[in-house]
Amino acid sequence: MIGVMGAGAFGTALAISFAQEDRVLLVARDEDHARAMRDERENARRLPGVALPDALEVSAETRALSECDIVLVSVPTQKLRSALEGAREILADKALVACCKGVERETQLSPTQVIAEVLPAATAAVLTGPSFAADIARGLPTALTLAVADEAQGEVLQASLNAPHLRLYRTTDVTGAELGGALKNVIAIACGAAIGAGLGESARAALMTRGYAEMARMAHALGGRPETLAGLSGFGDLALTCMSEQSRNLRYGLSLGREETFEAGVTVEGVATARAVQDRARALGVDMPITDAVVALVAGELRVREAMDMLLSRPLKEE
């Protein structure tokens, strides 16, 4: 049986998808939420209007995951460590697939690195790429990257997690896959800010393109492969997140550009990731001007047009 830890929109969508083929256990954070899903057979809080399949079981008991060999961990990156520490004995030797995108603020570690640090005996993998929860839950087609350092373990997970409308491509480049998923959120905030401030679609295209160059520089510095950044977990996810208002990071950027208050209680992974990546980039000597601009925008140190002027006034160079 496959387990999913975290009953937010994305965790629920994955659980629904995999429950078309197999039994799946979805573990919510509290019993009230779990009971409501069992009674209503939908996740009305996070994914209203989508029925839960009969093969999908819902619980609030983390120990129920002891029955699962594979556990998809779908919690925000900044809460991943505490979630794993709270279930250390249950998850110790399982295959854990991180379904979150970002960099831990305090340690600058990626999700699989957090898994390896907290649970060194577990198999650490990441599932990432262009995907919105609502699309996956409704059975709309997409393709994702499954990154696992060990080729044989990756083949086993790929066979176990493949679903009719969810095609998984395997890679051993965990670094490149995770950085693509993390950094595209930062670039999406910048794109949203530009559109929100009325700077136009050409500005968005320029930010996406130069943002991709930043992603590639950082990945190279940390050992990621260029072809990974050109794939689903890099370019694919960047295009989706920067172009659709289903993206929380883009919507957050729109609110910055419009100088409006953002939706309360909505997790925006790109905010913490931008700060963590800025720290790491400075330590490595990697030039990340768009990331720097996003950090300054979020901190209220710059307005959008000031940030754009700063980017446009940088020294001229070859592309």
pLDDT for res 156: 97
Contacts of 33 (CB under 8 A, 6+ apart): 7, 45, 60
- Taking only the tens place, the pLDDT of each residue in 16-63 is 999 998 899 999 999 999 999 999 999 999 999 999 999 999 999 999
- Taking only the tens place, the pLDDT of each residue in 239-275 is 999 999 999 999 999 999 999 999 988 989 999 999 9
CATH number of 175-312: 1.10.1040.10
Relative to beta strand 123-128, strand 142-148 is: antiparallel
Alpha-helix residue ranges (DSSP H) falling in the chain: 9-18, 31-40, 77-85, 88-91, 111-118, 133-137, 151-161, 174-196, 201-221, 226-229, 237-243, 248-258, 269-284, 289-298, 304-312
pLDDT for res 309: 83
Q: Choose, from 79, 94, 101, 184, the residue flagged as catalytic.
A: 184
Q: Residues 113, 13, 26, CA angle at the centre, nearest 5°?
A: 75
- Among residues 7, 105, 50, 78, the alpha carbon closest in space to that of 267 is found at 78
SS3 170: strand
pLDDT for res 314: 77
Any catalytic annotation for residue 184? yes
**Which residues of the chain does CATH 1.10.1040.10 include?**
175-312
d(CA 218, CA 197): 28
- Which residues in the chain come in under a pLDDT of 50? none
Out of 3.20.20.70, 3.50.70.10, 3.40.50.300, 3.40.50.720, which CATH number does the structure's domain 2-172 have?
A: 3.40.50.720
d(CA 278, CA 288): 7
Whole-structure pTM over 0.85, yes or no?
Answer: yes
Q: Long-range contact list for 113-118, CB < 8 A, 24+ apart? A: 114/77, 114/80, 114/81, 114/84, 115/73, 115/80, 115/84, 118/81, 118/84, 118/85, 118/88
**Which residues of the chain does CATH 3.40.50.720 include?**
2-172
pLDDT for res 164: 87
d(CA 92, CA 94): 6
pLDDT for res 176: 98
d(CA 287, CA 290): 9
Rounded to an integer, what is the distance from CA 226 to the centroid of its chain? 19
